[in-house]
């Protein structure tokens, strides 16, 4: 292999805007806002100027804790605040479309929206949201925060710089037990649109757009309410012959029933010039456990390289998604996590559901085309 090559610093950090005092208005006051959004924004120096929630008491508690000056009872009142330039939405997916529609109707000085993922629970609704934002001249980004996990972003840099060569196979294996929120009961999808959406979007981030999806799902034995997609297995086929596979196992054995377990989320990318292996620190939350990365490449000689960092996915990555939207607003460009980009992730989620239900391979591009050709929602 020859002598080892010195590797430049691996770029895993998101880009940040020059201006930090964009006025951010937050809709929602649940766990993800309290423990992730507001923590990350405060650390980054972003300016949260207003908050609204259906439970005013919770919004007032957060306003007091984080120095937020204004508390509102509705999204309309929040968006009418002249200091609110960017809307940060963190509500259940089934109510997010109506929140965005109401915000756009009252938009005034609103310039950008960071929507929670999933953007919607079906491609047609997601397309309607994207279309409405574009018609209103409001920049839409989607909080696909796994893209901003430090190991995931470092892996993307390795791919872009050619250290792994041509991608051959990528895998993500999750053995972890999520806490399903009450709003998840009765949705048309459980794991696919709530959990697998992270991994499907990450595969797109790494490898581009897959041609076909083959999937199998089954219910999770622990989840008592009715659902189809608890445990998800899927294979993605890419035009360049690369393959990706996800095992999203929310059962993980009877860990909550007294059996010792080993929860984890691990990923691996193999290419023609090298490979990279990572483990996501998120299952250890609330402990701060950074994700890990190790890689080897024909370009770097016989050594296995193991970069390290102190940042973690929850909550640090949430600064990256907001920063990406703010950078796009500054430059007049489209965010990396734009609404249009996210349509392809939503189509990929739908492909997993349909493939599992129908027992046939599905083409995400055809699903998206079908959704975009439907009549607009009035």
What is residue 377's predicted lDDT score, i.e. its pLDDT?
61
Across the chain, mean pLDDT equals 96
Cβ within 8 Å of residue 95, ≥6 positions away: none
- For 323-368, write each residue's pLDDT tens digit: 999 999 999 999 999 999 999 999 999 999 999 999 999 999 999 9
Q: Which fold has domain 147-313?
A: Dihydrodipicolinate Reductase; domain 2 (3.30.360)
- What pLDDT does residue 350 have? 98
CB atoms within 10 A of CB 374: 12
Tell me which architecture the domain covering 23-145+323-331 has in CATH: 3-Layer(aba) Sandwich (3.40)
**pLDDT score for 1:** 42
Contact yes or no for 147/201 (Cβ under 8 A): yes
Please tell me the number of Cα atoms within 13 Å of 23 on its side-chain side.
Answer: 16
When pLDDT is cut at 50, 70 and 90, the band that residue 2 belongs to is very low
Tens of pLDDT, residues 52-69:
999 999 999 999 999 999
CA geometry: angle at 208 spanning 302 and 143, to 5°? 105
342: nearest Cα among 162, 210, 144, 150: 144
Query: Residue 376: pLDDT above 90?
Result: no
Q: Where in the chain is the domain with CATH 3.30.360.10?
A: 147-313
Q: How many helices (H) and strands (E) does the chain have?
A: 12, 13
DSSP string, 176-195: ------GGGTT-S-SHIIII
pLDDT for res 5: 62
- Per-residue pLDDT reduced to its tens digit, 177-214: 999 999 999 999 999 999 999 999 999 999 999 999 99
Half-sphere exposure of 139 (CA within 13 A, CB side): 21
Give the separation between CA 172 and CA 282, rounded to whole angstroms: 14
Residue 71, classed as helix, strand or coil, is: strand
Residue extent(s) of CATH 3.40.50.720 domains in the chain: 23-145+323-331
Q: How confident is the model at residue 4 (pLDDT cuts 50, 70, 90)?
A: low
Model pLDDT, residue 7 = 81
Q: What share of the chain in percent tops pLDDT 90?
A: 95
**Residue 8 in tokens:** 């430049």
Mean pLDDT of 94-122: 96
Q: Which residues have a Cβ under 8 Å from the Cβ of 257 and sit 6 or more positions away? A: none
């Amino acid at each position: 292999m020859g002598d080892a090559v010195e590797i430049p610093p691996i770029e895993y950090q998101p880009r940040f805007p020059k201006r930090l005092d964009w006025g951010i208005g937050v809709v929602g006051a649940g766990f993800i806002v309290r423990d992730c959004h507001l923590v990350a924004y405060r650390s980054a120096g972003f300016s949260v100027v207003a908050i609204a929630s259906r439970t005013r008491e919770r919004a007032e508690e957060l306003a007091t804790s984080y120095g937020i000056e204004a508390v509102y009872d509705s999204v309309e009142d929040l968006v009418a605040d002249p200091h609110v330039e960017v809307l940060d939405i963190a509500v259940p997916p089934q109510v997010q479309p109506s929140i965005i529609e109401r915000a756009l109707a009252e938009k005034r000085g609103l310039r950008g929206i960071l929507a929670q993922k999933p953007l919607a629970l079906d491609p047609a609704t997601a397309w309607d949201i994207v279309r409405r934002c574009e018609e209103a001249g409001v920049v839409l980004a989607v909080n696909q925060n796994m893209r901003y996990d430090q190991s995931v972003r470092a892996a993307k840099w390795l791919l872009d710089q050619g250290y792994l060569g041509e991608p051959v196979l990528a895998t993500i294996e999750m053995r972890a037990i999520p806490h399903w929120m009450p709003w998840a009961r009765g949705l048309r999808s459980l794991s696919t649109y709530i959990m697998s959406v992270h991994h499907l979007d990450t595969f797109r981030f790494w490898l581009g757009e897959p041609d076909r999806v083959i999937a199998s799902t089954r219910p999770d034995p622990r989840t008592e309410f009715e659902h189809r997609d608890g445990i998800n297995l899927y294979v993605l086929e890419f035009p360049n012959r690369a393959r990706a596979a996800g095992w999203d196992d929310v059962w993980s054995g009877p860990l909550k029933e007294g059996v010792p377990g080993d929860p984890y989320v691990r990923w691996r990318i193999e290419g023609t010039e090298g490979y990279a292996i990572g483990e996501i620190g998120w299952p250890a939350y609330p402990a701060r456990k950074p994700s890990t990365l190790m890689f080897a490449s024909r370009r770097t000689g016989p050594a296995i390289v193991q970069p390290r960092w102190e940042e973690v996915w929850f909550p640090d990555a949430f600064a990256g998604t907001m920063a990406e939207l703010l950078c796009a607003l500054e430059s007049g460009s489209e965010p990396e996590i734009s609404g249009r980009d996210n349509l392809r992730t939503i189509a990929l989620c739908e492909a997993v559901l349909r493939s599992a239900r129908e027992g046939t391979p599905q083409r995400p591009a055809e699903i998206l085309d079908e959704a975009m050709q439907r009549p607009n929602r009035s």
